[in-house]
Amino acid sequence: MERTEAVPALRQESGAPGKGAQAPSPESQPSVIDEIYDLMSQTPHAMAVTDGDLEWTYEDLRRRTDIVARSLADGGIARGSVVGMHLPRCADAIAVMLGIMVSGCVYLPLDPSYPAARLRSMLDRAGAAAVISPGDDPELYGPDRSWLPAPSQLVTGPEAAASETAAGPAERELARPDESAYIIFTSGSTGEPKGVLVTHGNITLLSEWSAKVLGLTPFDASATSSSLSFDPSFLEVLLPLSVGGTVHVIPHALALGQLTRPVSFVASTPSVMNELLLNGQLPSLKALIVGGESLAPDVAAAFLTSGRVERLLNCYGPTECTVGVTVAEVTVPVPDVIPIGRPVPGTDILFLDEEGHQVPDGEAGEVCIFGGQVAAGYVNNPAETAARFATGPGATGEPQRYYRTGDLGYRGDDGVIFFAGRADRQVKINGVRIELGEIDAALRSHPQVSEATTVVQDDARAIAYVVPAEAGADVDIADLRKHLSGSLPRFMRPAGIIVLAELPKTLTGKLDTAALPEWSPSRAEGEPVAADQVDKVTARVIEIVADVTGFAGQIRPADDFINDLGGTSLGILRVLVELERDSGRRLRINDALADTTVAGLAGLLRADTVSSPADFAFNTDGDAPPIFLIHSYLGSMLAFRRMAELLPPSQPAYGLHVYGSTEHSGTEITVSSLAEDALARIREVQPAGPIVLLGHSAGGLLVFEAARKMVEAGQPEPRVLLMDTPQIDSAFGYYWSNALLSWRDIIRSPVRALRGPADRLAQKVRPAKTPRVVPPPSDDLMTVNEKNGESIDVAIRTYRAPVYDGSITVMRTRQGRVLALGRRALGWASVTTGRVEIIDAPGDHLTMLEAPFLPAVTEKLVDWLSSSE
């Protein structure tokens, strides 16, 4: 019995190996984009897009799609022009995607998490004429490109509804199959990304066969588990809209578990979906489409036996061939290799040797794809197009255009196709295609590096090996990582970097990858440190750090406790407690934040250590008004420090961990007293002049109160940014927020999770005889921190914001709005007499300050800082 089978609709009609079923000619079919646009008028009241608590009908979607098309026409953007979309995953992004293609322009997604240098390169290489985004950024988009606002920033209410005729293209020209529809950039072997140019005919064929395979109806829905910069997103967006279904917008795949609406299918990698399954976050699906990496038999078995997946489809297809060109439906667990299936309608696959001849069934050859889904080529890159796209005899013997994938594969006796690896240095990590040569080029562009090579270890991480530019010199790994962050997106940056005197070579002079030393997370990067370079104090700190982190390899004075050694905020406390016991000296957490390297921690024990009013400082020579990042919780302060590292050199940034330690000994902690402390320390750094105040979560309460005190005292009004800080106007609001942020803990252990809030609620209804105070300094550091945290919780819970006679900006996530019980400005409009500006941010309340969202959030912060009042 056959253990895996192709989807029934894809079975070959002729039985001839390599001959796929024929699809309708795209010349006789309207573009799927035009079909979706027409459907918007036919089913105006059906639900088209949801985004958190936002719901758009097809009429709503059409109106916003028309607004995009009209703004392009009004801006003089000609048909066929490339238009970039610089938006995160949101409802607006769906309207912009459709509006660009409906207008006859070419859609280019620009992921906000990518480095600015990479985005500029993509825009330049594509020859983009315009960019649609929430804000104009001439430095990023370039002076020769038009900037257009997102549709939500334009009129979308009754006024727009009354002028529908003017809103859309009344005499709209339908898309021809050979017209370009979108550009997706992939990693390039030459060190620069390549833009794949896909036509309307390509995506129409994709939509036709995939909608039939999935059996989609208007009652089906998808979720945006894939980034809009990756081509699987077209399955998740276009397929449901093409049949009158719904697209649920979520910020990332891991948010699937938080989606309360039913989902019919998603398209993602096996590893991401398996992670959701293992954590109980995979919703019930009619179909799970996986691709981008090999589907392991044990992972497939887990999906099939989970009761969460009705159909499991294993797909294969490079971006150059429009998402997917083979499909296998896995129906029962199998112990061996899972095939990638059979060709989809309109596609043929041949396996060629180095001379271009077909290899027999069962033998591996290069996978060459023929048919209607083969893309037009690489945009403005004729050399790469000629190298990968060719014309030759297909399965019928007739000349056809085809794409050389560089993948190896073979066809079994029954016609089923198996993937057999790569013929070059292209790899996939977490489902994302990466050319290792692009990483090598970025490494070599650093002035301290002369040679570099990158390999993939354990199929899960890239490891880089670099040779110093000068013999015997060192390479500053931290600076090299910062250099890479300016040009490579996070998914391409090496997990490990090893410095070698030279790269090992074979007798013929080729790189000997087998001789490269293995990297492990327990190995510190760079050259080992001689024993005489470490004094007694530093040696003791290394010993404590190794014990706390469990780090097994060489630890150097320059290694950072957080970034290099995997330490945590709780780990820092444990290190400081041990150092206090050894030295008998009182140490401040704030002093440790300034420098969390081993050498910095050792410096806390030296007699000449002087406490600074700021816990960390960056770009102190910058000429912009300084920004003060304020919080009372240590973990958030560490995230703030990573944010400060990403700010431009002109922007001074100071971190203030305001937690009322010895400053409040024996006194009650309140938000007001913490704000007073923050202001006193701010004026030590900046005695006069304009300042910017930023706080996240509870830290936003301190910022609001500090700003209020400044204005009340007649001082210049600061710029204020509250990051996902709900305005707490009742005890219920506090407990609601805590419960929402701790729901996983509540599910795992409800008694333990609810005991603390229950005790605090009892204290609330039964007033304590004595106020909560900070413990005296005789307690050890761990106890001080724990009790101090309890005191701050009380201060936050009981704070009621007075009216502020100034303006503020609220940066919010979707989860932040839920924390604030749905209030648009998170509740701050009711206590602010001035202007309240709103910025939407990716991620959720906690992850917005973590990878992969921190770069995008920081970019929004930089945009706000550079904007005028």
φ, ψ at 836 (rounded to 5°):
-120, 110
> Tens digits of per-residue pLDDT, 275-326?
788 767 899 999 999 998 888 888 899 999 999 999 999 999 999 999 999 9
> Tens digits of per-residue pLDDT, 463-522?
889 988 888 788 888 788 878 877 787 667 787 788 888 888 765 556 777 788 877 655
Q: What is the DSSP secondary structure assignment for residue 350, as one 8-state letter?
A: E
pLDDT at 595 over 70: yes
Of the two residues 545 and 777, the one the predictor is more confident about is: 545
Q: In this structure, is residue 308 part of a structural domain?
A: yes
The pairing of strands 432-435 and 426-429 is antiparallel
Q: Within this chain, do residues 290 and 435 fall inside the same structural domain, yes or no?
A: no
Q: Within this chain, do residues 549 and 571 fall inside the same structural domain, yes or no?
A: yes
Mean pLDDT across the stretch 824-847? 88
φ/ψ region of 123 (left if φ > 0, alpha if ψ in -120 to 50, else beta) reads alpha
- Residue-wise DSSP of 776-790: PTTS-HHHHHHHHHH
Q: What is the pLDDT of residue 498?
A: 86
Please tell me the least confidently modeled range out of 146-160, 292-306, 741-755: 741-755
DSSP, collapsed to helix, strand or coil, labels residue 274 as helix
Mean pLDDT across the stretch 731-758? 52
Q: In this structure, is residue 744 part of a structural domain?
A: no
The CATH number for 499's domain is 3.30.300.30
- Residue-wise DSSP of 837-869: EEEE-SS-TTGGGSTTTHHHHHHHHHHHHHS--
Rg, Å, the chain Cα set = 29
Q: Within this chain, do residues 706 and 774 fall inside the same structural domain, yes or no?
A: yes
Q: Give the mean pLDDT of the chain.
A: 80
Q: What is the pLDDT of residue 398?
A: 83
Q: Within this chain, do residues 449 and 304 fall inside the same structural domain, yes or no?
A: no
> Tens digits of per-residue pLDDT, 617-630?
888 888 899 999 99
What are the residues whose beta carbons fall under 8 Å from the beta carbon of 91, sequence distance 6 or more? 49, 50, 51, 54, 56, 152, 249
Q: Within this chain, do residues 565 and 436 fall inside the same structural domain, yes or no?
A: no
The closest of 194, 192, 187, 206 to 374, measured between CA atoms, is: 206
> Which of the listed residues 552, 571, 603 is the one where a domain comes to its end?
603
Is residue 342 a contact partner of residue 357, using CB atoms and an 8 Å limit? no
Q: What is the pLDDT of residue 96?
A: 97
Q: Within this chain, do residues 300 and 443 fall inside the same structural domain, yes or no?
A: no
Is residue 249 a contact partner of residue 50, using CB atoms and an 8 Å limit? yes
Please tell me the least confidently modeled range out of 69-73, 346-350, 553-557: 553-557
CA distance 154 to 150: 7
The residue whose two tokens read 């010199």 is: 473
Q: Within this chain, do residues 236 and 103 fall inside the same structural domain, yes or no?
A: no
- Residue-wise DSSP of 421-468: EESSSEEEETTEEEEHHHHHHHHHTSTTEEEEEEEEETTTEEEEEEEE
Please tell me the least confidently modeled range out of 103-112, 199-208, 298-307, 468-477: 468-477
Of the two residues 218 and 445, the one the predictor is more confident about is: 218
pLDDT at 161 over 70: no
Is residue 793 a contact partner of residue 774, using CB atoms and an 8 Å limit? no
The residue whose two tokens read 């895996």 is: 4
The CATH number for 157's domain is 3.40.50.980
CA distance 43 to 111: 31
Is residue 551 a contact partner of residue 522, using CB atoms and an 8 Å limit? yes
The CATH number for 827's domain is 3.40.50.1820
pLDDT at 390 over 80: yes
Q: What is the pLDDT of residue 483?
A: 84
DSSP, collapsed to helix, strand or coil, labels residue 773 as strand
Where does residue 673 rank: exposed (0-12), middle (13-18), buried (19+ CB within 10 A)?
middle
Number of domains in the chain: 5
Mean pLDDT across the stretch 707-727? 93
Q: In this structure, is residue 324 part of a structural domain?
A: yes
Of the two residues 792 and 8, the one the predictor is more confident about is: 792
Is residue 97 a contact partner of residue 50, using CB atoms and an 8 Å limit? no
Mean pLDDT across the stretch 590-608? 74
Q: For every residue of 487-527, which 3-state class applies, written as one string?
A: CCCHHHCCCEEEECCCCCECCCCCECHHHCCCCCCCCCCCC
Q: What is the pLDDT of residue 772?
A: 39
> Tens digits of per-residue pLDDT, 794-817?
788 888 999 999 999 999 988 888
Is residue 194 a contact partner of residue 186, using CB atoms and an 8 Å limit? yes
pLDDT at 743 over 50: no
pTM as predicted: 0.56
- Residue-wise DSSP of 712-724: HTTPPPPEEEEES
Of the two residues 316 and 30, the one the predictor is more confident about is: 316
Q: Within this chain, do residues 143 and 163 fall inside the same structural domain, yes or no?
A: yes
Q: What is the pLDDT of residue 19?
A: 36
Q: Within this chain, do residues 95 and 240 fall inside the same structural domain, yes or no?
A: no
> Tens digits of per-residue pLDDT, 37-52?
999 999 999 999 999 8
Range with the largest mean pLDDT of 2-6, 606-610, 657-661, 706-710: 706-710
Beta bridge partners of 687: none
Q: What is the pLDDT of residue 645?
A: 81
Q: In this structure, is residue 395 part of a structural domain?
A: no
> Which of the listed residues 343, 358, 373 is the one where a domain comes to its end?
373
Q: In this structure, is residue 407 part of a structural domain?
A: no
Q: What is the pLDDT of residue 30?
A: 83
> Which of the listed residues 515, 548, 573 is the one where a domain comes to its end?
515
Range with the largest mean pLDDT of 388-402, 404-418, 636-650, 701-715: 701-715
Q: Within this chain, do residues 507 and 537 fall inside the same structural domain, yes or no?
A: no
Beta bridge partners of 468: 449
Q: Within this chain, do residues 270 and 356 fall inside the same structural domain, yes or no?
A: yes
Of the two residues 830 and 616, the one the predictor is more confident about is: 830
The closest of 770, 745, 765, 769 to 755, measured between CA atoms, is: 745
Tokens of 322: 């429009």
pLDDT at 782 over 70: no
Please tell me the least confidently modeled range out of 185-194, 719-728, 755-764: 755-764
Of the two residues 194 and 520, the one the predictor is more confident about is: 194
The closest of 864, 867, 735, 854 to 115, measured between CA atoms, is: 854
Please tell me the least confidently modeled range out of 158-162, 519-523, 680-684, 738-742: 158-162
Q: In this structure, is residue 829 part of a structural domain?
A: yes
Q: Within this chain, do residues 557 and 511 fall inside the same structural domain, yes or no?
A: no
CA distance 728 to 106: 46
Q: What is the pLDDT of residue 199?
A: 97
The CATH number for 587's domain is 1.10.1200.10
564 confidence band (pLDDT: 50, 70, 90): low
Q: What is the pLDDT of residue 305?
A: 93
Q: In this structure, is residue 16 part of a structural domain?
A: yes
494 is in which domain, residue-wise?
Answer: 427-515
pLDDT at 395 over 80: no
DSSP, collapsed to helix, strand or coil, labels residue 481 as helix
> Tens digits of per-residue pLDDT, 357-373?
898 988 888 999 999 99
Tokens of 561: 């406790």
The residue whose two tokens read 């059996």 is: 215
Torsion sign across C-alpha atoms 724, 730, 732, 734: positive
> CA of 344: how far to CAs of 328, 371, 405, 623, in Å?
10, 10, 17, 59
The residue whose two tokens read 């050979």 is: 178
Is residue 682 a contact partner of residue 691, using CB atoms and an 8 Å limit? yes
7 confidence band (pLDDT: 50, 70, 90): very low
Q: Count the Cβ atoms, other than its own, within 10 Å of residue 319.
A: 18
CA distance 108 to 82: 7
Q: For every residue of 366-386, which 3-state class applies, written as one string?
A: EEEEEECCCCCEECCCHHHHH
Q: In this structure, is residue 415 part of a structural domain?
A: no
DSSP, collapsed to helix, strand or coil, labels residue 187 as coil
Q: For every residue of 64-77, which 3-state class applies, written as one string?
A: HHHHHHHHHHHCCC
The CATH number for 328's domain is 3.40.50.12780
Beta bridge partners of 719: 692
